[in-house]
Amino acid sequence: MAKYLLLKHYRGGPAAVNDVPMDQWTPAEISAHMQYMRDFAARLEGTGEFVDGQALAPEGTFVRYDGEGRPPVTDGPFAETKDLIAGWMVIDVDSYDRAVELAGELSAAPGAGGKPIHEWLELRPFLSEPPTITE
Amino acid sequence: MDETLLRSLTPSVLGILVRRGIDFAAAEDAVQDALVEAVRVWPADPPRDPKGWLTTVAWRRFLDAARADAARRRREDLVDEEPAPGPAPTVDDTLQLYFLCAHPSLTPSSAVALTLRAVGGLTTRQIAHAYLVPEATMAQRISRAKRTVSGLRFDRPGDVATVLRVLYLVFNEGYSGDVDLAAEAIRLTRQLAAAIDHPEVAGLLALMLLHHARRAARTAPDGSLVPLAEQDRSRWDTRSIAEGVEILQAALARDQLGEFQAQAAIAALHADAPTAAETDWVQIVEWYDELARLTANPVVRLNRAVAVGEADGPRAGLTALAAVDDALPRYTAVAAYLHERDGDPATAARLYAEAAQQAPNLAERDHLTRQAARLNALRRR
């Protein structure tokens, strides 16, 4: 088994095919989208491949150490940040091919007009523990 | 087996052990072990005297642990003698446990975890599940909290207000996983109300009951939020409402108003309205004014602006909103609502979309996005 992170971006990836902001969809289209996402996660739980899924608020802060005895420096949020992560799903699957298959399904979630969004999801393998048998 | 009954015995058994001279941390571990044992043994072999059974098993567990730990000679000496039967368990023990678990030296998250375990009798695993953290993390949080309070005297009265804040936090977490934190908070507040006669304890219990009564109506089958005005009021739990109102009235009659009683009074006015349109918003505004006198919490003024908008019209609501700090969470959502009521769907839709970006949880974000989408769809027609 191998763990993969499916990253969804608010921005930073290539534009989706069906790229309409959600507040311009109809309420029924929003419901259909939410249902698809819930069904997807439930199905992965059913197959034993779901690990975790979380959504992130769009605004964040950059923080860094500023030396002994000083409070940390904070900066942001930056309106111009190019890469903005919206959320993630972690899956534990048998192969890279299976991870790609699932990411493709998630990207097919319906959007405006009830058509698939075709949004780009970033697929990143976890760096795992070294195997016991190496020779 | 009735696990709630079992867990309700936790504070008095723990109180007995502490009064026998065991330190709090060790006593708490022993009681937790006894609870686990009870869950295993009772279904097949229910005891005649559940509390006596738990006390005996917890005591034995403590002896085993103390004997196994050779470094703890002092404690061994202590336990070599048969324990005195101990004073009869009193309501007072329970109250002292609440004070200890909500001690001001604990952080809120530690106080919550310790209260749920030592007073509520939940296992570390259950608490970890409820707060979506790894079990090892929650175990550490609880043992650190126990170390923090273990040197404290058990017989000093504490501050009821800190206990109420902890219980309020538990209630507001709602429920996730297999533990219903809202129901657990109600149980613990009820138990506290039986141990101490205090109008704000009654106020908090009433507040919880009145909000809990709406729970079934608050979410649609697909999990989306249903706002108060659109809830199917026939799905409100009338027994819970009646109990909440009765408790609240008895508390208010004592004329020692506090913020939980005032919040409960607002919830009671909503519960009392057969339809959203029949809500007594004028009285609700008065209660918000009262609440603003009792607390510096700026959210009160934000909620008051909504009530003013209903009582005196959206313009008055927007005027009230202008005096509120616009950096408050949900400020933009309130502004969107009032602009929609004021007949400005374009501004409202823009603000709803903006509010969705700032929403503190997914359910609210989805709800606000839907509101924006609904207005945008209407405008396209």
Question: A66: domain CATH number?
Answer: 3.30.70.1060
Output b/e per residue, A90-127; b: 16+ Cβ within 10 A: bbbbeeeeebeebbeebbebbbbeeebbebbbebeeee
Does residue A133 fall inside a structural domain? no
Contact B43, B7 (CB under 8 A): no
The confidence score (pLDDT) of residue B91 equals: 60
Residue B156 is predicted with a pLDDT of: 72
Distance CA B303, CA B328 (A): 11
In this predicted structure, the answer to whether residue B22 has a pLDDT above a threshold of 90 is no
Whether A61 maps to a domain, the answer reads yes
- Residue B198's pLDDT is 95
Contact A91, A50 (CB under 8 A): yes
Chain A residues in contact with B177 by the CB 8 A cut-off are none
Considering the domain boundaries, does residue A105 fall inside one? yes
Residue B87 confidence class, pLDDT cut points 50, 70, 90: low
What is the C-alpha separation between A43 and A49, in angstroms, rounded? 9
How many CA atoms, within 13 angstroms, populate the side-chain half-sphere of residue B343?
2
In chain A, which residue's Cα lies nearest the Cα of B374?
A: A27
Residue B213 pLDDT: 96
Domain that holds residue A77: 2-124
Asked if A119 and A8 touch (Cβ cutoff 8 Å), the reply is: yes
A35, A64 contact by CB (below 8 A): no
| Nearest CB to B373 within list A23, A55, A57 | A23
Query: What pLDDT, on a 0 to 100 scale, did the predictor assign at position B78?
Result: 52
pLDDT at B151: 79
pLDDT exceeds 90 at position B328: yes
Instruction: Give pLDDT tens digits for B172-219.
Output: 876 556 688 999 999 999 999 999 999 999 999 999 999 999 999 999
Task: Name residue A95's beta-bridge partners.
Answer: none
> Cβ of A26 and B373 within 8 Å?
yes
Domain contains A135: no
What are the respective helix, strand and coil percentages of chain B, to the nearest 5? 70, 0, 25
Contact A120, A17 (CB under 8 A): no
pLDDT-derived band at B74, boundaries 50, 70, 90: low
In a domain, A134, yes or no: no
B353, B359, B362 ranked by CB distance to A23: nearest = B353
Nearest to A55 among B349, B358, B362 (CB): B362
Model pTM score: 0.87
A22/B373 touch (CB, cutoff 8 Å), yes or no: yes
Is residue A130 situated within a structural domain? no
Query: From CA B97, how far away is CA B8, in angstroms rounded?
Result: 13
> To probe the interface with B, which of A20, A23, A52 has the most B CB atoms within 10 Å?
A23
In a domain, A41, yes or no: yes
Residue B58: pLDDT over 70? yes
Among chain A residues, CA nearest to B359? A57
Nearest chain A Cα distance for residue B227, angstroms: 16
Percent of chain B with pLDDT over 70: 92
Beta bridge partners of B377: none
Is there a contact between B146 and B114 (Cβ–Cβ < 8 Å)?
yes
Contacts of B374 in chain A (CB under 8 A): 27
Does residue B84 surpass a pLDDT of 60? no
Q: How many domains does chain A have?
A: 1
Q: CB atoms < 10 A from the CB of B202, how many?
A: 25
What are the E-state strand segments in B169-261?
175-176, 179-180
In the block, residue with structure tokens 């009582």: B311
* pLDDT exceeds 90 at position A129: no
Assess if residue A50 is contained within a domain.
yes
